[in-house]
């Protein structure tokens, strides 16, 4: 369902709630641990350090709209993020990021609610209610602007105001065919890539939201879009975009030099 690389180890997540920790061993990987989060769904986990610690933590969806914080070292749950609302439904999206040197987590729920968690205090800083059920979102901590897609033709751009301490809708924009399964902002903040239900990857200028290109290599729903920060010397690229689809194909795109 998802794969993360952390300090040379691999963390993999299965749909049934099982998390595997793998370590390099003799040209392959050996399993170093298994964590059962008792979660069945499509929300991907995320990984990052919390305030004042060099240790990495796994942020994993749980039952009853909860998010488990799991130590990657001990492979045990050390804390749980839980809201007071009982009508949020499943956790749909988890997004870890750092803003001004502090760790934060955005979580989106089946009800359309988005919460911004301050991981220093492990408390909710602010919230926003959107229409529809969020399928995926990404956030640009430099501009303090995020984007969220759902099952419709319409995407929502939202912003965080640290002075007013609130999340609010900035604007909305549409795509031709309904359904966004993946939203990913390129690390340099120049391109927004949308993986869609129709198998297309739609590229936009992240600053202006002007459409740039539609990539049609895949025939079924796009499951993931990942921007590689490092290039591949054999193809002479400064960086590539990897796309994985329901059609069981992975494609690589040079969207840095073009």
- CATH number of the domain where residue 199 is located: 2.40.10
Q: Judge whether 30 lies within some domain.
A: no
* pLDDT at position 257: 67
Distance CA 132, CA 19 (A): 29
Would you say residue 53 has pLDDT above 70?
Answer: no
Q: Judge whether 245 lies within some domain.
A: yes
Distance CA 224, CA 243 (A): 6
Q: Judge whether 67 lies within some domain.
A: no
Q: What are the CB-based long-range contacts (under 8 Å, 24+) for 144-151?
A: 144/99, 145/170, 146/95, 146/106, 147/183, 147/185, 147/192, 148/93, 148/108, 148/114, 148/183, 149/180, 149/181, 149/183, 149/194, 150/180, 151/178, 151/179, 151/197
| Structural contact between residues 157 and 173, judged by C-beta atoms closer than 8 angstroms | yes
199 — pLDDT class (breaks 50, 70, 90) = very high
- Report pTM: 0.88
Report the range of poorest mean pLDDT among 40-54, 112-126, 210-224: 40-54
Would you say residue 237 has pLDDT above 60?
Answer: no
Report the range of poorest mean pLDDT among 139-153, 204-218, 238-252: 238-252
Q: Judge whether 229 lies within some domain.
A: yes
Neighbours of 160 (CB within 10 A): 23
* pLDDT at position 258: 57
Tokens (6 digits) for 78:
């050390």
- Beta-bridge partner residues of 171: 157
Degrees (nearest 5) of the Cα angle 168, 174, 176?
A: 160
* pLDDT at position 81: 94
| Structural contact between residues 59 and 47, judged by C-beta atoms closer than 8 angstroms | yes
Share of the chain above pLDDT 70, in %: 92
Would you say residue 189 has pLDDT above 60?
Answer: yes
Task: Indicate the number of domains in the chain.
Answer: 1
Would you say residue 176 has pLDDT above 50?
Answer: yes
**Torsion angle (degrees, nearest 10) of CA 66, 67, 68, 70:** 180
Q: What is the pLDDT of residues 7-40, one digit of tens each?
A: 777 888 877 778 888 888 777 788 888 888 777 7
- Neighbouring residues of 108: CB distance < 8 A, sequence distance ≥ 6: 91, 92, 93, 114, 115, 134, 137, 148
Sheet holding 67-71, edge to edge: 46-49, 56-61, 67-71, 77-81
240 vs 257, residue with greater confidence: 240
Q: Judge whether 174 lies within some domain.
A: no
Distance CA 38, CA 69 (A): 14
Mean of the pLDDT values across residues 197-223? 93
Distance CA 258, CA 256 (A): 6
**Residue 206 sits in which domain range?**
182-258
Q: Judge whether 241 lies within some domain.
A: yes
Would you say residue 43 has pLDDT above 80?
Answer: yes
238 — pLDDT class (breaks 50, 70, 90) = low
Q: What is the pLDDT of residues 99-120, one digit of tens each?
A: 988 999 999 999 999 999 999 9
**Torsion angle (degrees, nearest 10) of CA 241, 149, 156, 95:** -70
Q: Judge whether 21 lies within some domain.
A: no
Q: Judge whether 207 lies within some domain.
A: yes
């Amino acid at each position: 369902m998802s794969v993360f690389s952390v300090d040379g180890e691999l963390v993999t997540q299965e749909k049934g709630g099982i998390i595997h920790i793998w370590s390099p061993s003799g040209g392959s990987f050996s399993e170093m641990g298994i964590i059962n989060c008792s979660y069945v769904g499509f929300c991907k986990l995320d990984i990052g350090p919390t305030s004042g610690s060099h240790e990495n933590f796994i942020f994993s969806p749980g039952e009853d709209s909860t998010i488990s914080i799991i130590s990657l070292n001990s492979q045990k749950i050390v804390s749980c993020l839980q809201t007071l609302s009982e009508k949020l439904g499943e956790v749909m999206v988890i997004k870890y990021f750092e803003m001004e040197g502090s760790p934060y987590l955005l979580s989106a729920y089946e009800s359309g609610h988005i919460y911004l968690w301050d991981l220093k205090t492990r408390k909710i800083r602010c919230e926003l209610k959107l229409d529809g059920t969020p399928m995926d979102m990404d956030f640009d901590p430099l501009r303090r602007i995020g984007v969220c897609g759902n099952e419709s033709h319409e995407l929502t751009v939202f912003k965080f105001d640290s002075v007013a301490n609130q999340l609010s809708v900035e604007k909305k924009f549409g795509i031709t065919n309904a359904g966004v399964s993946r939203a990913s902002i390129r690390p340099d903040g120049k391109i927004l890539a949308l993986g869609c239900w129709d198998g297309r990857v739609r590229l936009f200028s992240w600053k202006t939201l002007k459409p740039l290109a539609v990539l049609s290599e895949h025939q079924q729903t796009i499951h993931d879009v990942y921007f590689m920060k490092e290039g591949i010397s054999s193809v002479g690229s400064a960086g590539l975009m990897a796309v994985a689809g329901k059609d069981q194909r992975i494609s690589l795109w040079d969207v840095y030099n073009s």
